[in-house]
Each structure stands twice: as C-alpha cells, then as structure tokens.
C-alpha cells in the first residue's frame, strides 16, 4: 500500500516535469531552472 | 521554501527506493511546478471568495495559464514575487471587471486587438531558465494564434450571454499582452 502510494506520488512529479519541459511558461508562475536531463529526455521522446 | 519542500519529497522517495538518485533533479523540478501551481490556485480561490467573484477568478486563472504556456512573457525572479504579482494581477482583473461593466463591444474589441497585436509581434517569449528551440518557437507561435482565435470566439459568445465574463476574459488577455511587452522591454534594457 505504502509502495503504491509512493509510486503514485513519484509519477505525479515525473509527469508534471515532463509536461512543463519546453513550455514557454507552465502555470504562469516563477519558472524554476529546467534540468538539462529533462531537456535531453524531451528530445529523445 | 517551495524548492526545499520539493527537495524533501524527492529525498523521501529516493530513501524509499521509489526513484533513483540520478533522477532526483527531474522530480524536484516537477514538485516545484505542482506546489507553486497549488499556491497560485489557492490565491485565486481566496481572492474569488473574498470578492464574491469565484467564477471570474477561475476564468482569469484558466485563460492566464493556457495562454501563457505558449506565448510566455514576464516572470518574476522568485516564487514570492511571482505569487504577489499573480495575486495583484488577479485582483486588478476582478476589480476592473466590475468597474467596466458598461463597456461597449467596440471598446472590448480594441482591447482584444492590443492583445492580438502583441501575440503576432512577440509570441512566443521564452524564459531564461527554459529556452525554447527554434522548432518549438514556430509551433508555439501557431498555437498562440489559434488560442487567440478561440478566445475571440469565446469572448463574443460571453459578451452576448454573460457580459461580465467577457470583460474578465478581455482584461486577462490585455494583462498577458502587457507582461509580454514588459519582458521585451526588460531584455532591450539589459542589452543596452
């Protein structure tokens, strides 16, 4: 149960990062620095 | 604070072997986005409830978030400044939407044209922390234009059925345009 919950939380964070990557502005807030790893992941997709 | 909290969550997941150490950066980034979004949503909800304009608040939020995703514009350089700015812009929108209730269609149309002009001239504007590739810039520019066409249709329908929301929508778009102009001017000043 705990592992499943943690996996859901992890998936939320990951999906949020992937969706935010490359957007001009995500949710209109302060934009934290996008990790280079994420940019590479996005290019590979 | 938001960054630290995001880091705590990522550390907790890593300690429980849910994520790998080398992927932590991605998760921290994702959680920062989620947390800052929640904070902004709560700001909108609070202001909406305070001013009895919850629907206007949500309209502002939805239009702001969707449009800025592709057109970009000015961003403050800390979470706190961004949240304060976001709250202030929402407050201004809600106040003006009440004050301008008697606005004619022509006036709203002129305001809409200002927004369209900025989109055609400047969109998309990337962020120093999130550079957009040339390919994505072309794509986002097209999407920005299509979104503008969508908002124009929604604006016309709202003007005929629920005028107050048409005013809220238009003011939000003008604010987005202003933020684009502010960012462009800020960059010109930095270059000089």
Q: Are residues B1 and B79 in the same domain?
A: no
pLDDT at residue B172 in the model: 96
pLDDT band of A39, cuts 50, 70, 90: confident
pLDDT at residue A27 in the model: 67
pLDDT at residue B108 in the model: 92
Domain count, chain B: 2
A33 DSSP 8-state letter: P
Cα distance between residue B137 and residue B126, in whole Å: 9
pLDDT band of A28, cuts 50, 70, 90: low
Choose between B25 and A27: higher pLDDT: B25
List, as one string, the DSSP characters of B160-183: HH-HHHHHHHHHHHHHHHHHHHHH
Cα distance between residue B13 and residue A42, in whole Å: 23
Task: Give Cα separations from B129 to A6, A21, A41, B38, B177 (angstroms).
Answer: 29, 11, 17, 21, 21
The interface predicted TM-score (ipTM) is 0.86
Q: Of B50, B66, B84, which residue is a domain's last?
A: B50
Residue A43 confidence (pLDDT) above 90: no
pLDDT band of A24, cuts 50, 70, 90: confident
Interface residue of A11, A27, A44 to substitute, partner B, most B CBs within 10 Å: A27
Residue numbers in chain B where pLDDT is lower than 50:
none
Q: Are residues B77 and B147 in the same domain?
A: yes
Å between B149 CA and nearest CA of chain A: 19
Q: Are residues B130 and B61 in the same domain?
A: yes
Q: Are residues B60 and B45 in the same domain?
A: no
Q: Are residues B66 and B158 in the same domain?
A: yes
Q: Cβ–Cβ of A26/B76 closer than 8 Å?
A: no
Range of the domain at B26: 1-50
Q: Are residues B176 and B156 in the same domain?
A: yes
Cα distance between residue B175 and residue B60, in whole Å: 10
Cα distance between residue A17 and residue A29, in whole Å: 14
Q: Cβ–Cβ of B25/A34 closer than 8 Å?
A: no
Residue A45 confidence (pLDDT) above 70: no
């Amino acid at each position: 149960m705990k592992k499943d919950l943690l996996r859901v939380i992890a998936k939320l964070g990951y999906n949020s990062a992937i969706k935010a990557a490359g957007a001009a502005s995500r949710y209109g807030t302060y934009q934290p620095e996008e990790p280079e790893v994420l940019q590479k992941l996005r290019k590979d997709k | 604070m938001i960054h630290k909290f995001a880091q705590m969550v990522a550390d907790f997941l890593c300690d429980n072997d849910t994520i790998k150490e080398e992927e932590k950066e991605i998760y921290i980034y994702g959680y920062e986005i989620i947390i800052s979004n929640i904070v902004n949503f709560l700001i909108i909800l609070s202001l909406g409830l305070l001013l009895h304009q919850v629907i206007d608040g949500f309209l502002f939020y939805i239009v702001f978030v969707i449009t800025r995703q592709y057109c970009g514009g000015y961003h403050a350089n800390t979470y706190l400044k961004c949240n304060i700015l976001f709250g202030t812009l929402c407050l201004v929108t809600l106040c003006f939407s009440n004050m301008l209730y008697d606005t004619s269609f022509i006036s709203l149309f002129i305001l809409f044209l200002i927004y369209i002009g900025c989109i055609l001239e400047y969109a998309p504007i990337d962020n120093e922390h999130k550079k957009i590739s040339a390919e994505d810039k072309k794509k986002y520019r097209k999407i920005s234009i299509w979104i503008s066409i969508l908002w124009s249709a929604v604006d016309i329908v709202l003007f005929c059925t629920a005028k107050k929301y048409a005013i809220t929508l238009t003011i939000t778009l003008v604010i987005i345009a202003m933020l684009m102009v502010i960012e462009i001017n800020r960059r010109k000043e930095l270059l000089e």
